Amino acid sequence: MKKGHIFLIALGVLAIAAVAITAIIMAQKSDSQDRFSVAGSGIVYAKADIANITIGLKTEAKKTAAEATAENNKKMTAVIESLKNLGIEEKDIKTTNYNLNPTYNWTEGRGQVLVGYEVSQNVGVKVRDLDKIGDVVAKTTEQGANQIGNVSFTIDDEYELKNEARELAINKAKEKAELIAEQTGLKLGEIKGVYENADAVVVPMMYTNAKVMDQAAAEGGIRLDSATIQTGQNEIRVEVTLTYEVK
């Protein structure tokens, strides 16, 4: 085969490929131009039925690491036992942090001097009976817990609530699409795509030292009981984006 013929065949193949690529690009461009997206939000409110609390224990410095861990284990065992006595199940008690650290003092003559070792441990507690929140705080601090905080309220099963919020979001998105189409003269076709983003808004309470809480309680500043811990309502939000075909 002559070189000229090979060259012409190669040009033909390239031309066909170029036409095919151009057709694909134009189809994609046309396809994207014939789409219209609109978003809608659905929000429902519900009273929380679960309280999440972080209970912490920090052991004062001991001469040896063994003494520090033994002291921590003794107190934390009592803390966890007090939770179980209140009806908190073992599955709802989880260690979230454990640290064993050396402690030092600084002196002019000797510089950094090892004083001993201290242990800090946190457990996350899920309280399913909200009337027991005050008892959880009181009983655990009696057993040595000295840090209480990160109190937040959640909903155990959000499935039906999210379904309700999603329906609201879809209806709002459809209403918005129809209104925009009416105002702009667009003709809406079928829905070609759906995107969802769902979340629950939870506002945690601040973390504080139990000794500070006890002092404030003694001075009449706060009371550590369930009556003064308000659960409020949780916001369940679902955002939906609908993509329509434009005729």
Tell me, yes or no, whether 88 lies in a domain.
yes
Measure the CA–CA gap between 202 and 44, rounded to whole angstroms: 13
User: H helices of 146-195, where?
Assistant: 159-184
Count of H-run helices and E-run strands, the chain: 5, 8
- Residue 10 in any domain: the answer is no
Global pTM reads 0.64
Domain that holds residue 176: 34-48+157-247
Task: Look at residue 174 in the predicted model and tell me its pLDDT.
Answer: 95
Domain C-terminal end among 154, 188, 217: 154
Burial of 244 (0-12, 13-18, 19+ CB in 10 A): buried
Beta strands (DSSP E) in 59-110 are 93-107
Spatial contact of 143 and 20, defined as CB atoms under 8 Å apart:
no
> Given this model, what pLDDT does residue 111 score?
78
What's residue 220's pLDDT?
37
Residue 225: its pLDDT value, please?
52
CATH at 193? 3.30.110.170
- CA 28-34-37 angle, 5° bins: 110
Q: What is the pLDDT of residue 172?
A: 96
Instruction: Enter the tokens of residue 212.
Output: 């500070």
Say whether both 121 and 167 belong to one domain: no
- Domain harbouring 78, CATH code: 3.30.70.2970
In a domain, 2, yes or no: no
> Could you list the pLDDT tens digit for every one of the 247 residues in the chain?
555 555 445 545 555 555 445 544 544 544 556 888 999 999 999 888 899 999 999 988 899 999 999 999 999 999 999 999 999 999 999 999 999 999 988 877 777 888 899 999 999 999 999 889 889 999 999 999 999 988 888 888 888 999 999 999 999 999 999 999 999 888 898 999 999 987 655 444 444 444 444 444 444 333 445 445 677 788 899 999 999 998 8
Whether residues 110 and 191 share a domain: the answer is no
**pLDDT value for 205:** 44
- Distance between CA atoms of residues 156 and 236, nearest Å: 12
